Amino acid sequence: MSVVVLIGSGQMASALTFPLFENGHEVRLVGSPLDGDVIARLREDDYHVNLRRTLHHGIEYYDVGQMGEALKGADLVVCGVSSFGVEWFADEVLPVLDEDVPLISVTKGMLDHEDGTLEVYPRYWQRRLPAGSRLRLYAIGGPCTARDLADHDPSFVAYCGPDLETLRWIRDRFQTDYYIISLTTDVVGLEAAVALKNGYALGTALAIGMKETMGDDGVDHNNMKAALFQESVKEMLDLLRIVGGKEDNIMYAAGDLEVTVAAGRSRTAGMLLGEGLPIEEVQERLKGQTLEAIVIATRTARAVRAMAAAGKVSEADFPLLMHVDELINRHAKLDIPWKAFQREDAC
């Protein structure tokens, strides 16, 4: 049995308590500074108000002020904060972790820098560690929604990190007959792939909102959605190449894109934009929800624009991303650039 401490009681981190607890481990769930109400309710009856599922009785719950107590004797630490908690995790959590205890993160996203460089969160956290630190960072990616995982729906994901031996040890803590885990040392490739899908899920879901405004009862407009999905995969593959990730990771981006378009906040944001709503109204309707799709689309588009200004890429190669950015940040009207998706390829 291992002691596993999850810091941040968001939906995915909380869903991960299911395979961990069922594998016989001691599970401690620590709330972030924003999770006070979640932890309070869990202590009452194990019900998670955001995940909308009841966790296993026997999991230990801690407020953020009790994090030090929760970390005592930990064999594995899981970062479960949203992308909005990345700085807090770097400032407040990394300095108090035991350097000999591996850390694995479920947080998806990237930072962009002025020169157009995109940096995945594990690389950012590694950079924030003091010189000589022994702490090793690992991460989770792939198509898996929190509620489906909690419901034991078969899920196939990937774990990444600096060495396979530790990855195998971590996998042994989590893997069940319904939660299957591949392993890769390509941290940049996997984490970039699953970060990009949030922004492109918003772009693909535009078709769902457009359907609602067309007034064609009984017509699903599957071709339109498929075209946006196809363009999303093409642009994500190009971006994977740019950041230096292995192209095989496009399978995780595509799988994660499909499940995110099927349900979730990124789908809803895209659908509302597809209905013609301005971004301010979309944000108002989704007030209180973490809209990571908007963050990653904005950062990725900003990076592409910076690289284009430096002559490294062309904005014209990313027409869907650019239009999504214009909808989000430039108050453009919805006008999918269908013909910009055309390409000619002579073998």
Domain count, the chain: 2
Range of the domain at 61: 3-185
Cα–Cα distance list, 109 to 190, 193, 196 (Å): 11, 9, 7
Query: Would you say residue 346 lies in a domain?
Result: no
* One domain, residues 236 and 295: yes
Q: Which residue has the tokens 């069922």?
A: 22
* One domain, residues 29 and 131: yes
137-149 pLDDT, tens digit per residue, is: 999 999 999 999 9
* One domain, residues 181 and 204: no
- Closest by alpha carbon to 124, among 86, 168, 167, 150? 86
Q: Can you give the pTM of this predicted structure?
A: 0.93
pLDDT over 70 (residue 344): yes
Residue 291: band (very low, low, confident or very high) from pLDDT cuts 50, 70, 90: confident
* One domain, residues 121 and 270: no
164-218 pLDDT, tens digit per residue, is: 999 999 999 999 999 999 999 999 999 999 999 999 999 999 999 997 776 666 5
Q: Residue 336's domain is classified under what CATH number?
A: 1.10.1040.10
Query: Would you say residue 347 lies in a domain?
Result: no
Per cent of the chain over pLDDT 70 is 97
* One domain, residues 177 and 216: no
Query: Would you say residue 94 lies in a domain?
Result: yes
Cα end-to-end span (Å), the chain: 56
* One domain, residues 10 and 79: yes
Q: Are 189 and 197 in contact (CB under 8 A)?
A: no
* One domain, residues 310 and 258: yes
pLDDT of residue 218: 58
25-36 pLDDT, tens digit per residue, is: 999 999 999 999
pLDDT of residue 261: 94
